[in-house]
A and B are shown apart, each in its own frame.
Chain A
Amino acid sequence: MTMETLNIALPKGRLGEKVYELFQAAGYDCPALLEPNRKLIFENEAAAVRYFWAKPSDVAIYVERGAADIGVAGKDILMEYTPDVYELLDLGLGRCRMCVAGFAGFRDDGARTLRVATKFPNITRDYYAAQSRPIDIIHLNGSIELAPIVGLSDVIVDIVETGKTLLENGLAPLAEVAPISARLIANKARFKFVGERIDTLCRRIAAIREQECSK
């Protein structure tokens, strides 16, 4: 019996390339993926896998809606959009932190509604709701660090990788909201029919990650 093809959505960019290397090492290679062309979908019939690149924030939508059986998405996206998918593996790639940041030494005395600028309104709302802190969310789409500098907000909630951008602008991480890394996700319905293949893939990738971490 022929194996059913597994549809895999990868996030475009550096993280996606690293993820593909991991999949390749686990035996799910697809040489066409690295060819310089404008194709959108890449298939290796022998390995029964079909890959496509998607905008990182869209990967979870492709998986939730079943256009992809599995995919790789950042924990920030999963926390923000809470897609109804299985989160099967922490790939440990693209590690960073979701942080509250502001001017170093900023003190929230609780006397006023806190103005928070962010690309992640849901994560921000949940974080401050857990602390019973009233906030005014200012939803921005980019250059979040600018907000406190020009007085648009008191603090920001954003992803911090090295903290260099913050530092260069006189800002600093004030509190960690959550650690972030790339996660392997699966469509729940498809998992009922190709679950064994997905489990095997997860086991192989987890073994490679363990080897890499123990080096």
Chain B
Amino acid sequence: MTGTIPPAEQLAAQLRALYQRYGFKHYRVSKFEEYDLYARNKRFLTSPHILTFSDTNGRLMALKPDITLSIINNTRDDDRTRKVWYTENVYRVPRGGSGFQEIMQAGLEMLGAVDLYAMGEVLMLAARSLEAVSPRYVLELSHMGILTGVLDTLAVPAGAAEAILAAFEAKNAHGLASVCAGAGVDAADAALLERLCRLSGPARSAVKKLLALPLPPAAKQAAVELDQLTGLLTLFGPYNATVDLSLINDTDYYNGLLFRGYVDGVAAPVLTGGRYDSLIHRMGKRGGAIGFAVYLNELERFLAQPAAQDVDTLLVYGPGDDPAAVIAAVQAEIAQGRTVRAQLAGGTAVTYGRCIRPDGKEMT
């Protein structure tokens, strides 16, 4: 049938039902927040550009470029654990874009006591969210603790550490080797970094390879956590996850598990998430935090096939036709599961499957 509910909205409804099944509560946020919240955490945002306006009392406000910061900001600092989901629009300049866009995203956040089960559950929900989009998906996992655990033992200058992270993120092994050589990293450590940079593959086998590497204790602990999590994920049912340690993020905000979701046919990640305890601690709150966002805008083109026509049936009537006959004809079409547009002859042009008169006769 032409003109049903847009696929992105159908997906949002599916995700909502999924998150609610696991006890996540709906969280509503307003469209704007004080600018200061984003100014203080600019590097957490995917784009530095923020749409601002002055409120009636002179306060500088911003149209939300991000939901996570708002949820943390508006959550009381107590010992309770919160599990929330949202579907909201955010306003930002997409990477590579040249202007602001209204971007629809769905997601969930868990704040408070985040243990192994909680992380596994969030990962499973991320995998199921991707599955709702397409069976050809990949949930990519990484752990910030592995790279930071290795870097902490190297004591390289800040500039070199930044260059190492940049090369790592681009899987740029040749660049990594050159930065390591320039920073005086010894050959064994440089070789370990290179192996970590190249390490990727199906989750369970990649973790096995990771555990076999000569990691320093902090990195080993992170690798063990990744092992436990991928094992736990298996207990929730089949999933399609890979491990790729080139997935990293800002160490000031993210401190543990990181993940990203991809769907075959979409050229950018459609889901990003991770453990961001460092962010909530920076914002003066206690406990742990984990969450993810699904970028419904990235999926719009993938999900929606261009409609072949505006309506299934165009019902054309004249000024002399009995309105009751028009109503009967419209209802008959609806009852057949077809979309129908009734209009006076000579009205706005639309594309249609067939054109009929109120008496049901087809027009050419």
Contacts and interface: CB of A to CB of B under 8 A. Distances in A.
Given A66-B268, A86-B171, A193 B200 contact: no
A187 B264 CA distance: 12
A190 B264 CA distance: 7
Contacts of A66: 266-268
Contact of B138 (A83, A85, A193): A193
A90 B177 CA distance: 12
Interface string B221-258: 00000000000000000000010001000000000000
Contacts of A195: 200
Given A87-B171, A187-B267, A195-B200, A64 B96 contact: yes
B200 A65 contact: no
A193 B268 CA distance: 12
B136 interface: yes
B96 A83 contact: yes
B174 A192 contact: no
Given A64-B96, A192-B140, A193-B136, A86 B246 contact: yes
Contact of B267 (A87, A88, A89, A190): A190
Nearest to A130: B159
Contact of A65 (B175, B246, B267): B267
Contacts of A61: 96
B242 A86 contact: no
A88 B242 contact: no
B86 interface: no
B40 interface: no
Contacts of B242: 192
Main secondary structure of the interface of B (DSSP, over half): loop
Contact of B262 (A65, A83, A193): A193
Given A66-B268, A86-B246, A189 B96 contact: no
Interface in A67-97: 67, 83-90
Interface residues of A, number: 21
Nearest to B136: A193
A189 B170 contact: no
B262 A189 contact: yes
Nearest to A179: B178
Given A190-B267, A192-B140, A192-B242, A87 B172 contact: yes
A64 B173 CA distance: 19
Interface string B142-165: 000000000000000001000000
A90 B174 contact: yes
A107 B74 CA distance: 55
A189 B267 contact: yes
A65 B264 contact: no
B360 interface: no
A87 B168 CA distance: 10
A137 B175 CA distance: 27
B269 interface: yes
Nearest to A187: B267
Given A66-B267, A66-B268, A88 B171 contact: yes
A195 B171 CA distance: 12
Contacts of A86: 170-172, 246
A86 B166 CA distance: 11
B76 interface: no
A90 B364 CA distance: 63
Contacts of A189: 262, 266-269
B159 to A, nearest CB: 8
A195 B174 CA distance: 18
B95 interface: yes
Nearest to A68: B267
Contacts of B173: 88
Nearest to B298: A189
Contacts of A87: 170-172, 175
Interface string A38-67: 000000000000000000000001001111
B183 to A, nearest CB: 15
Interface string B167-206: 0001111110000000000000000000000001000000
B95 A84 contact: yes
Contacts of B172: 86-88
Nearest to A194: B264
A87 B159 CA distance: 20
29 contacts: A61-B96, A64-B96, A64-B267, A65-B267, A66-B266, A66-B267, A83-B96, A84-B95, A84-B96, A85-B170, A86-B170, A86-B172, A87-B170, A87-B172, A88-B172, A88-B173, A90-B175, A187-B267, A188-B268, A188-B269, A189-B269, A192-B138, A192-B242, A192-B262, A193-B136, A193-B138, A193-B262, A193-B264, A195-B200
Given A64-B96, A189-B269, 10 more contacts: A61-B96, A64-B267, A66-B267, A87-B175, A88-B172, A89-B174, A189-B262, A189-B266, A193-B136, A193-B264
